[in-house]
Amino acid sequence: MTHSPLQLRMGSAEWAMLVVLSILWGGSFLFVGVAVKELPPLTIVLARVALAAAALHLVLRASGLAVPRDPRVWRACLWMGLLNNAVPFTLIAWGQTHIESGLASIFNATTPLFTVIVAHVMTEDEKATPRKLAGVVIGFAGVAVMMGGALRAVGVDVLAQLAMLIAAVSYAVSGVYGRRFRALGVPPLATAAGMLTASSVMLLPVALFVDRPWTLPWPSGAAAASVAALALASTALGYLLYFRVLARAGATNLLLVTFLIPVSAILLGTTLLDERLAPRHFLGMALIGLGLVAIDGRLVDRLKCALTARSRNG
């Protein structure tokens, strides 16, 4: 199925969905920040993926769809569940026991930087261009600025920041690996439901062994509501909105959500969790944003066109 240029434009409806998606995904850092005060990371992540998987399976059934039973599909779902859910969700939840939710979201915004590198290594048709490499260098300069002060004394906070970066690498690898679902003919929502189901199966024995959740005190209403919102809003509804924007606006426009997530997360963390970030964190975020602008390329191309037109008219 092909899309006309009109379908891939960012109209007011697409922008509205993109902003809502950024709030849902930015809100995930808020929800984790509330939940980790009372619950261990693995328990939070297991509840997140299991509840989200159940919700998406209901949506699939209502839509008359199902996850194919082909062993190749479920093998791919297992890898995607590991790389896109189990590993990054757990690292982010653990990291947020030591750093602010807004800072965690900034590190998460490095995912496209790592994607450029991973795609260059793992694919034949997405090699890095000089412009993209320049964006990667600028973005990682932002990471260095954010971590510079903390690296003077290696401690848990530094390990938490490194965990965020490893989570971003995992997301990047999963994004490249996930291209094979198109070749397998799996609908996007079935892919999401399948990988969340697979990650639930993987995480269940680990969470039971490590956290022994039956021994934990019952969480407060705020913590329980945060886990439910994390699963149903940030994850299940987030995936539904993600695929809607992808279908209507295309993958390139969808990348714009990367710029908006840290803004949402920082505003929510500052307003509701009374978090405060250091000036170097905002400088680092600006450099990462500049790197993403270079990787995205559209603003750079528009500036080139404007300068070219100006020189011709001059």
Tell me what pLDDT residue 8 has. Answer: 53
Domain assignment present for residue 1? The answer is no
Full residue range of the structural domain in which residue 123 is found = 16-313
Backbone CA torsion sign across 86, 219, 157, 265: positive
Domain assignment present for residue 89? The answer is yes
Q: How far is CA 261 from CA 18, 84, 85, in A?
A: 10, 17, 18
On whether the CB atoms of residues 16 and 236 are closer than 8 A, the answer is no
The count of other CB atoms within 10 Å of the CB of residue 191 is: 23
Distance (Å, rounded) from C-alpha 9 to C-alpha 7? 6
What pTM does this model have? 0.87
Tell me what pLDDT residue 6 has. Answer: 37
Domain assignment present for residue 184? The answer is yes
Looking at residue 115, its amino acid is T
Angle CA(234)–CA(165)–CA(55) in degrees, nearest 5?
A: 20
On whether the CB atoms of residues 33 and 101 are closer than 8 A, the answer is yes
Task: Using alpha carbons, select from 69, 56, 83, 92 the residue that is nearest to residue 202.
Answer: 83
**pLDDT tens over the chain, length 314 residues:** 334 333 456 678 888 888 899 999 999 999 999 999 999 999 999 999 999 999 999 999 999 988 888 899 999 999 999 999 999 999 999 999 998 998 899 899 888 889 889 888 888 777 888 888 898 899 889 888 887 655 554 566 888 989 999 999 999 998 888 878 877 888 888 989 999 999 999 999 999 999 998 899 999 999 999 999 999 999 999 999 888 887 777 666 777 788 888 888 988 888 888 888 888 888 888 998 888 888 777 776 777 776 676 667 66
Tell me what pLDDT residue 18 has. Answer: 87
Domain assignment present for residue 56? The answer is yes
Tell me what pLDDT residue 54 has. Answer: 96
Looking at residue 284, its amino acid is G
Domain assignment present for residue 249? The answer is yes
Tell me what pLDDT residue 25 has. Answer: 94
Domain assignment present for residue 8? The answer is no
Q: Phi first, then psi: what are they for 311, rounded to 5°? A: -65, -35
Distance (Å, rounded) from C-alpha 116 to C-alpha 307? 27
Domain assignment present for residue 4? The answer is no
Domain count, the chain: 1
Domain assignment present for residue 121? The answer is yes
Cα 282 to chain centroid distance, Å, stands at 19
